[in-house]
Amino acid sequence: MPSTMRAILSTALLLLGPSVAAQTATTTATVTATETVASGTTTVFTSSSLPTFTAVSDCHPHSTVLWCMVGEDEYQVSGPTATEEFQAEYTDCHSHDTDMYCVDDAGEDVLILTGAAEEGGDEEHEEHDEHEEHDEHEEQSEESGVHCHDHAGIPHCSGSAEEVNCDAPDRDYNIGLRIGLLFVMLATSAIGVFIPILTRKFNIVGDNNIFFVLLKQFGTGVVISTAFVHLFTHAQLMFSNQCLGILEYEATTAAIFMAGLFLSFLVDYLGARFVQWRQRKHTGPDSEVAAPGTHDKSGDSSSSATPDHEVNHSHAHGPMRAATPMEEKINVMNLEAGVVFHSILIGITLVVSSDGFFITLFVVVLFHQMFEGIALGTCIAELPKAAASTLQKLLMAGLFALITPIGMAIGIGVLDHFNGNDPSTIIAIGTLDALSAGILTWVGIVEMLARDWMHGKLLNAGLIRSGCAMFALVCGLVIMSVLGKWA
């Protein structure tokens, strides 16, 4: 406003009186604070604290919030919350007091949050910026081939060339949920392992019953799949963790796996030699020990394994000596040792997984433990009375039922201190996983699969019986392998 005009206006105000002067002064201040937009646009009269624009364009949603552009500045549109209400632009922008409004296609005013419009404007914009940065980070990760996921409750990233953070994650855990599901795990594991034992104890299912045969072959598939898909894979993931660094010996996982396999063989072999030594000591050196066909696992005189063993004498691999009751017990204890080692690890890693992954992992582990309980339970139930009494069988089954909940209890106790990316933790879990994989591989293939199919009753079983048993075996392999995607 020209200085001459201001002088004339001031003189007039002095003549009109103080009240009119005050009112006019306010109007003059408002006009002075107003800025004129470049030619071709409409001039907007607003408070000096508000930005000036006549329209917002390039509107785009972030989640359920709409943001629009004015040049390089971005403003949140308050009002539309559904995708169908979002527009590409809003026009006829104008101010009311300290708020800025624009008009939508229906002629209604829509509030534009400018940062001064309301107290929470800055916080909302910061949240938007964080969300945008997160999206950009994900896009960069996808472009660079980086893929991160939780496996067995421990984060793993592949394809990253950047330095990873190996500190313990700062998480808030739902402790009550974990304690409650501990008892669910206990009940499910007990159901899986006790059912085969109790059905055999009360003669609900006999040794030659097709249901028991299917149950045992399903369990065999579960044990073999657990060894390779779950344990061996987990061990490889542990030893390839970037926080551990690059191993100079690349075959670490396979070497520990082989050690577990050899230990299982050694236990079985030494156990068999010890049993034979004891029998020779009592019966004399010239006596035949555990002659083929003389031992019946079920203890039922009506069930004889003689035809199978007679055929085995002419088998290309030579005759298969029938295992003594003590040897059978050693075999089952060998199996249980491998199961117990990895079950306690499953319990710990399940509990320390993040809340977002915990429920999914829990459901998978629940089925895993039930199926593994069935596998172990059928082997325990098959032990003859000379090898283990009913009480001993129940104690062996009870150990399995308790071991995973014990692992979960340990995990709950160390939640605030557990770091799955700590090198010592990685080595401990990886070693036990690989060792357990070797044990279960020996037991699953040699003591269960080969003994039943190559030297047992399934060698000469009928076509239907053999087909059903094979189907159950494949089901055990496939189901546990599918579960390996999440556990």
Give the dihedral of Cα atoms 276, 282, 284, 285; nearest 10 deg: 20
Task: Provide the mean pLDDT of the chain.
Answer: 76
Q: Which pLDDT score, from 0 to 100, does residue 167 have?
A: 77
* Residues in contact with 102: Cβ distance below 8 Å, sequence separation at least 6, in sequence order: 55, 56, 77, 90, 91, 92, 93, 94, 109, 110, 112
pLDDT band of 434, cuts 50, 70, 90: very high
The answer to whether the beta carbons of residues 99 and 85 sit under 8 Å apart is no
d(CA 468, CA 183): 35
Give the dihedral of Cα atoms 125, 127, 128, 134; nearest 10 deg: 150
Plot region of 75 (φ>0 → left; ψ -120 to 50 → alpha; else → beta) = beta
Taking the CA atoms of 217, 441, 358 and 143 in sequence, report the sign of the dihedral they define.
Answer: negative
Q: Which residues pair with 101 in a beta bridge?
A: 94, 111
CB count within 10 Å of CB 449 equals: 19
d(CA 157, CA 163): 11
The answer to whether the beta carbons of residues 192 and 370 sit under 8 Å apart is yes
Going from N- to C-terminal start, the domains of the chain cover 57-123, 175-279+318-483
Mind listing the pLDDT tens digit for each residue in 374-416?
999 999 998 888 888 889 999 999 999 999 999 999 999 988 8
Closest CA to 76 of 96, 88, 61: 61
pTM: 0.62
CB count within 10 Å of CB 426 equals: 22
The answer to whether the beta carbons of residues 389 and 382 sit under 8 Å apart is no
- Greatest CA separation for the chain: 141
The answer to whether the beta carbons of residues 63 and 46 sit under 8 Å apart is no
Mind listing the pLDDT tens digit for each residue in 173-216?
889 999 999 999 999 999 999 999 998 888 777 777 888 899 99
Q: Which residue is it, tokens 């007990």?
A: 190
Mind listing the pLDDT tens digit for each residue in 219-269?
999 999 999 999 999 999 999 888 888 888 989 999 999 999 999 999 889
Q: Which pLDDT score, from 0 to 100, does residue 161 have?
A: 46
pLDDT band of 303, cuts 50, 70, 90: very low
Name the percent of the chain lying above pLDDT 90.
30
* Residues in contact with 147: Cβ distance below 8 Å, sequence separation at least 6, in sequence order: 141, 157, 158, 159
Q: Which residues pair with 111 in a beta bridge?
A: 78, 101
d(CA 258, CA 261): 5
pLDDT band of 486, cuts 50, 70, 90: confident
pLDDT band of 61, cuts 50, 70, 90: confident
Mind listing the pLDDT tens digit for each residue in 28-49?
444 344 343 333 333 344 445 6
Q: Which pLDDT score, from 0 to 100, does residue 85 have?
A: 62
Q: What values do phi and psi take at 201, rounded to 5? A: -60, -40
If one compares 221 and 121, the residue with the highest pLDDT of the two is 221
Q: Which pLDDT score, from 0 to 100, does residue 168 have?
A: 73
